[in-house]
Homo-oligomer: A and B are copies of this chain.
Amino acid sequence: MTYCVGLRLDRGLVFAADTRTNAGLDNIATFKKLRVFEKKGDRVIVVLSAGNLAITQAVISLLEEKIREQANERPTIMTVDTMFQVARLVGEAVREVRDIDGDALTASSESFSVSMILGGQIGNERPRLFQIYSAGNFIEASDDTPFFQIGEHKYGKPILDRVTRADMSLGDAAKLVLISFDSTLRSNLSVGMPIDLLLYNTDTLEVLRQTRIEQDDPYFHRLSTGWSDALRDAFSKMEPFDV
């Protein structure tokens, strides 16, 4: 499993992804699920991926190969003018991988499962955030729903539902996302540290901060224990149930 979150806020975009992949409980490894495509002053594109690792890696590799094929005049995610066009190209790459691997996966009784969060900004367009499905189609985040989660999303959703506000600062959003991860990490073994975190500030067209939160990160540790204490404290102050 996997847990990834992307938030679209007034001040920018925040992305986070865990790094655990597993093929059975006894075969665990660390893989990067957060990819950045950046051309400073022009565009920042971030892709988070969940699902079959072979598929998500193939999608990313296809996108990268197309970027490198300079001679080829076909549009790539580094040349198109809008994030919508980028989302279509990522969706096409998903379909291309399905064409290549789909039948063999079906023959092995494996499903073609992949989901992605795509966000970024190109030129004067506002920052945009998409969720891409296994079929290569996608939806876009709106003011009503300013975040997307993929993978093991349920444990960490209540806090996002209650605290996310479009006008929050990027620092607050990063704190929120890490608390959401903490709830997930406590409950699901298939989601694991370290966490890749990326912050993007609207209209800067370059990554503000990209960092990896390791298992022994002192801030994350303080946040995790502090949040537990705060929850217990808040709980004890709630009006008692009248037995």
Query: Does A161 lie at the interface of the complex (its beta carbon under 8 Å from any beta carbon of B)?
Result: yes
- What's the nearest-Cβ distance from chain B to residue A65, in Å? 34
Instruction: Please tell me which stretch of A107-115, A124-132, A235-243 contacts chain B, meaning at least 4 of its Cβ atoms lie within 8 angstroms of it.
Output: A235-243
Name the distance in Å between A208's Cβ and chain B's nearest Cβ: 7
Grouping DSSP codes into helix (H, G, I), strand (E, B) and loop, the A interface class, with mixed when no group exceeds half, is: helix
| Among listed A36-44, A98-106, A133-141, A179-187, interface-contacting one | A179-187
Number of copies: 2
Contacts of A159 in B (CB 8 A): 231, 235
A226 at the interface (CB under 8 A from B): yes
Verify if A54 is at the interface (C-beta below 8 Å from B): no
Question: In chain A, residues 160-176, which have Cβ atoms closer than 8 Å to a Cβ of chain B?
Answer: 161-163, 169-172, 174-176
Contacts of A227 in B (CB 8 A): 234, 238
A157 beta carbon closer than 8 Å to chain B: yes
Residues A174 and B238 in contact, CB atoms below 8 Å apart:
no
B residues near A84, Cβ cutoff 8 Å? none
Asked whether, in the complex, the Cβ of B243 is within 8 Å of the Cβ of A162, the reply is: no
Say if the beta carbon of A60 comes within 8 Å of chain B: no
- A-side residues, CB < 8 A to B, are 154-155, 157-159, 161-163, 169-172, 174-176, 178-179, 183, 186-187, 199, 208-209, 219, 222-223, 226-228, 230-235, 237-243
